[in-house]
């Protein structure tokens, strides 16, 4: 009986069973797809088989190509590579190795130990052996003979069977890296030094308008303003009043914009009002878009350097002026000494050539010679006084004097010169001046210098006025003239030594330019003041002296100078020692005219002979006598007197050396008194007579 199949029962699928059926369907599709792919693969692989020999040949060719590529790489690379076997024999190397090791192609197969003595890298052999022994890489820094730096790296060389067959040594050039490191260290050191030294600099940052936005500690130390006081303030805060008026800040800002950076040197102002000389750089700040966003000012206090520079400049200027003044002085003194000397020589030759010269001509000649000699004497005395003042050796000898008579005597000295030139000399003397305490000789010198100067620079028909007035405990002396006046530029230097207003080479007046300088020194030594005033050239001048001379009630005041009488040396024996014949003859004439019996000697030896032959009453001796000086002469005479216990013979020394040292030496040698040449005859005779009276 045939069984019939009954159809499956249909079943309604819920949503969950529907999802499961979809998954089953997808699995079925994948399985069919994989089967189809496998079948297709079997169909493709059904190709003819390649012979085994051909495959081996292809592999050999690939290996040759690889070896060729490797050789090309080794030859072309700039990296130094050295291949060694286990016995340290050279297997191969790149050309760059030759810059480090002295090896050639012919060294291939040789042991590295054989050529190691040529290496500068003496640790190479030991390091390679350590790598073979420890099977660990080893790095070291080495330097080639050319000075280049390398990292030497030694690594074990493994074969395909992972067997150690040798060592590979590579040298990597790190010279640039080392240079960069050195440059970096240098830069860091430089910045460190800058930062350490920044205490000397005030670093100031400003905005676009020139107002402070940062304020460093060094700025506070240098300028005195705190950060709170400075921030937001304009740059003018540290500028002087003059720079503010000149709008210097705005000019600097613009210059920095135009030039990006400027250097500056000027006086700056601190908080306490003191000034300092600031130097530095002022720069504009720009961003990456070249937009201005502010300024930086680096400032340093260089006041000390400025002071030194100014002192050096002043010293240089003073030295140049002094040198110029010296040259001018030497030319001037040559002129001033030659002028009276020329007149003296001319008159002397004229009178000596004329045996029958008239009394009038003889008188004129002698007066001219005397005048020239006095002019030379005055020049020499001015030089000596100036030397003493500079050395601080000039001493006053104050005494009670009637001041007006002293002024009148000074007037008399210049009256003849004024009359000769046609200058009117006026006087206005206050009788209430009275008696004062002063050095009469030096005060007369002050008055004489001022009056002589006024007459000298006043043209004919001009007027010079001397006025003396008491003002309480002071005396005011005014010397005014209607002369050529003083320029404004010269007025501040009118009392300087060796200074004259005459243009160089156009001298209208004589003198050394010492008179006013000496007058100022003498006035100041008396505790007074002297000043000059002039409204300019051709407008005259006024010199005013104020002296602290209170009136003294005294009966001991000096009387006005009286006419001098020539002292008499009648009957006195005078031993005269002078080696210059002309001077000796003149002194013989003066002494003989005074009635003395003169015993002349032209040397110290001659004087000793005369001293032993004739018993003199007085000795008059020059100091400079040649081989044996006047000092030695008087010492020998004093020793002779001491040995015989006789009283010392009065001795007067004559010398052209006017300094205190020679005066002291003369007195210490045995002279009782000393006179400086040229000597006034009356003074000479008076001194000799006074010495004789002390015997």
Does residue 173 or residue 49 have the better pLDDT? 173
Torsion, Cα of 499, 505, 507, 510 (10° steps): 60
pLDDT digits (tens, 9 = 90+) for 92-147: 888 878 777 778 888 888 888 877 655 667 788 888 888 888 888 989 888 877 78
Specify the number of domains making up the chain: 5
Q: Are 499 and 487 in contact (CB under 8 A)?
A: no
* pLDDT at position 559 over 50: no
Q: Are 454 and 421 in contact (CB under 8 A)?
A: no
Taking the C-alpha atoms of residue 197 and residue 242, their distance in angstroms, rounded to an integer, is 31
Residues 378 and 402 occupy one common structural domain: no
Residues 290 and 335 occupy one common structural domain: no
Could you give the C-alpha distances from 502 to 485, 532, 536, in angstroms and in order? 12, 17, 15
Residues 480 and 584 occupy one common structural domain: no
Question: Among 35-44, 232-241, 546-555, 634-643, whose mean pLDDT is lowest?
Answer: 35-44
Q: In the structure, what pLDDT confidence band is assigned to residue 506 with cuts at 50, 70 and 90?
A: very low
pLDDT digits (tens, 9 = 90+) for 280-334: 899 999 888 888 989 988 888 888 888 898 889 888 988 887 787 677 667 666 7
For 559, residues 6+ apart whose C-beta sits below 8 A from its C-beta are 402, 405
Domain holding 348: CATH number?
A: 1.10.287.130
User: Is residue 609 in a domain?
Assistant: yes
Taking the C-alpha atoms of residue 223 and residue 269, their distance in angstroms, rounded to an integer, is 7
pLDDT the model gives residue 76: 58
User: Is residue 491 in a domain?
Assistant: yes
C-alpha 105, offset from chain centre: 70
Sign of CA dihedral 260, 261, 265, 270: positive
Residues 386 and 399 occupy one common structural domain: no
Domain holding 661: CATH number?
A: 3.40.50.2300
User: Is residue 61 in a domain?
Assistant: no
- The percentage of residues in the chain with a pLDDT greater than 90, rounded to a whole number, is 20
Element (H, E) at 611: helix 604-613
* pLDDT at position 401 over 80: yes
User: Is residue 64 in a domain?
Assistant: no
Q: Which two tokens stand for residue 326?
A: 């010296």
Does residue 647 or residue 78 have the better pLDDT? 647
Q: Are 605 and 628 in contact (CB under 8 A)?
A: yes
Residues 447 and 519 occupy one common structural domain: yes
pLDDT the model gives residue 43: 52
Residues 601 and 526 occupy one common structural domain: no
Q: For residues 663-690, b (16+ Cβ closer than 10 Å) or e, as one string?
A: bebbeebbbbebbbeebebeebbebbbe
Phi, psi of 659 (to 5 degrees): -80, 165
Taking the C-alpha atoms of residue 585 and residue 567, their distance in angstroms, rounded to an integer, is 20
Strand partners, 618: 574
- The percentage of residues in the chain with a pLDDT greater than 70, rounded to a whole number, is 80
Q: Are 45 and 128 in contact (CB under 8 A)?
A: no
Region 557-580: what's the mean pLDDT? 74
Residues 282 and 202 occupy one common structural domain: yes
User: Is residue 530 in a domain?
Assistant: yes
Residues 214 and 251 occupy one common structural domain: yes
pLDDT the model gives residue 5: 41
pLDDT the model gives residue 426: 92
Domain holding 83: CATH number?
A: 3.30.450.20
Q: Are 281 and 263 in contact (CB under 8 A)?
A: yes
Residues 412 and 510 occupy one common structural domain: yes
pTM: 0.44
pLDDT the model gives residue 35: 53
Residues 467 and 577 occupy one common structural domain: no
Final residue of a domain: which of 122, 139, 173?
173
User: Is residue 14 in a domain?
Assistant: no
Residues 133 and 208 occupy one common structural domain: no
Taking the C-alpha atoms of residue 43 and residue 205, their distance in angstroms, rounded to an integer, is 86
Average pLDDT for the chain: 80
User: Is residue 489 in a domain?
Assistant: yes
> Biggest alpha carbon distance in the chain?
215
Half-sphere exposure of 536 (CA within 13 A, CB side): 0
* pLDDT at position 32 over 60: no
Q: Are 57 and 131 in contact (CB under 8 A)?
A: no
Question: Residue 316: left if φ>0, alpha if ψ -120 to 50, beta else—which one?
Answer: alpha
pLDDT the model gives residue 679: 80
Tell me the residue range of the domain where 288 lies: 198-301
Final residue of a domain: which of 365, 391, 417?
391
Q: In the structure, what pLDDT confidence band is assigned to residue 498 with cuts at 50, 70 and 90?
A: low
Region 428-443: what's the mean pLDDT? 89
Could you give the C-alpha distances from 40 to 28, 558, 607, in angstroms and in order? 19, 159, 161
Domain holding 438: CATH number?
A: 3.30.565.10
pLDDT the model gives residue 451: 93
Final residue of a domain: which of 113, 138, 173?
173
pLDDT the model gives residue 28: 45
User: Is residue 13 in a domain?
Assistant: no
Which residue blocks in 93-139 are alpha helix, DSSP H? Answer: 124-134
pLDDT digits (tens, 9 = 90+) for 609-659: 999 998 899 999 998 887 888 999 999 999 998 998 889 999 999 887 766
pLDDT the model gives residue 557: 45
Residues 364 and 278 occupy one common structural domain: no
């Amino acid at each position: 009986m045939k069984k019939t199949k009954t159809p499956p029962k249909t079943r309604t699928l819920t949503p969950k069973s529907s999802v499961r059926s979809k998954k089953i369907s997808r699995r079925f599709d994948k399985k069919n797809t994989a089967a189809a792919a496998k079948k297709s693969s079997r169909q493709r692989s059904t190709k003819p088989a390649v012979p085994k020999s051909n495959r081996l040949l292809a592999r050999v060719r690939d290996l040759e190509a690889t070896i060729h590529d490797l050789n090309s790489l080794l030859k072309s690379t700039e990296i130094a590579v050295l291949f060694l076997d286990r016995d340290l024999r050279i297997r191969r190397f790149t050309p760059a190795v030759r810059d480090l090791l002295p090896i050639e192609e012919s060294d291939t197969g040789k042991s590295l130990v054989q050529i190691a003595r040529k290496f500068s890298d003496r640790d190479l052999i030991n390091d390679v052996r350590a790598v073979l022994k420890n099977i660990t890489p080893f790095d070291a820094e080495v330097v080639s003979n050319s000075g280049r730096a390398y990292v030497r790296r030694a690594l074990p060389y493994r074969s395909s069977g992972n067997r150690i067959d040798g060592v590979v040594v590579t040298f990597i050039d790190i010279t640039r890296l080392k240079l960069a490191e050195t440059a970096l260290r240098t830069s860091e050191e430089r910045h460190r030094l800058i930062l350490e030294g920044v205490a000397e600099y005030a670093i100031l940052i400003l905005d676009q308008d020139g107002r402070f936005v940062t304020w460093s500690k060094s700025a506070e130390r240098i300028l005195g303003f705190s950060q709170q006081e400075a921030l937001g303030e304009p740059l003018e805060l540290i500028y002087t009043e003059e720079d503010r008026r000149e709008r210097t800040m705005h000019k600097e800002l613009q210059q920095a914009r135009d030039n990006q950076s400027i250097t500056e040197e000027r006086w700056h102002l601190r908080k306490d009002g003191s000034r300092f000389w600031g130097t530095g750089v002022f720069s504009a700040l720009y961003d990456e878009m070249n937009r201005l966003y502010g300024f930086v000012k680096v400032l340093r206090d260089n006041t000390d350097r400025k002071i030194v520079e100014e002192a050096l400049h002043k010293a240089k200027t003073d030295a140049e002026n002094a040198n110029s003044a010296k040259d001018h002085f030497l030319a001037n003194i040559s002129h001033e000494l030659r002028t009276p000397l020329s007149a003296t020589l001319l008159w002397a030759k004229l009178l000596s050539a004329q045996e029958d010269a008239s009394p009038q001509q003889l008188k004129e000649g002698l007066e001219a010679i005397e005048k020239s000699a006095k002019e030379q004497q005055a020049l020499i005395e001015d030089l000596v006084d100036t030397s003493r003042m500079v050395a601080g050796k000039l001493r006053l000898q104050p005494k009670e004097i009637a001041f007006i008579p002293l002024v009148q005597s000074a007037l008399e000295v210049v009256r003849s010169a004024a009359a000769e030139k046609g200058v009117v000399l006026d006087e206005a003397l206050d009788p209430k001046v009275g008696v004062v305490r002063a050095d009469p000789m030096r005060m007369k010198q002050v008055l004489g210098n001022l009056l002589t100067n006024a007459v000298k620079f006043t043209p004919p028909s001009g007027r010079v006025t001397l006025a003396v007035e008491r003002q309480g405990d002071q005396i005011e002396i005014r010397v005014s003239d209607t002369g050529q006046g003083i320029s404004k530029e010269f007025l501040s230097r009118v009392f300087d030594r060796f200074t004259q207003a005459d243009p160089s080479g156009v001298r209208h007046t004589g003198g050394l330019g010492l008179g006013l300088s000496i007058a100022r020194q003498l006035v100041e030594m008396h505790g007074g003041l002297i000043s000059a005033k002039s409204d300019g050239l051709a407008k005259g001048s006024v010199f005013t002296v104020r002296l602290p001379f209170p009136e003294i009630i005294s009966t001991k005041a000096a009387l006005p100078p009286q006419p001098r009488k020539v002292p008499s040396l009648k009957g006195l024996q005078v031993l005269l020692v002078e080696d210059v014949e002309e001077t000796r003859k003149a002194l013989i004439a003066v002494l003989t005219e005074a009635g003395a019996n003169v015993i002349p000697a032209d040397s110290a030896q001659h004087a000793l002979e005369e001293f032993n032959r004739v018993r003199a009453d007085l000795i008059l001796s020059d100091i400079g006598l040649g081989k044996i000086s006047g000092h030695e002469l008087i010492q020998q005479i004093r020793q002779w007197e001491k040995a015989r216990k006789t009283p010392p013979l009065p001795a007067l020394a004559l010398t052209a050396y006017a300094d205190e040292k020679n005066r002291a030496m003369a007195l210490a040698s045995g002279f009782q008194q000393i006179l400086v040449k040229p000597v006034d005859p009356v003074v000479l005779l008076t001194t000799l007579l006074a010495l004789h009276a002390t015997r």
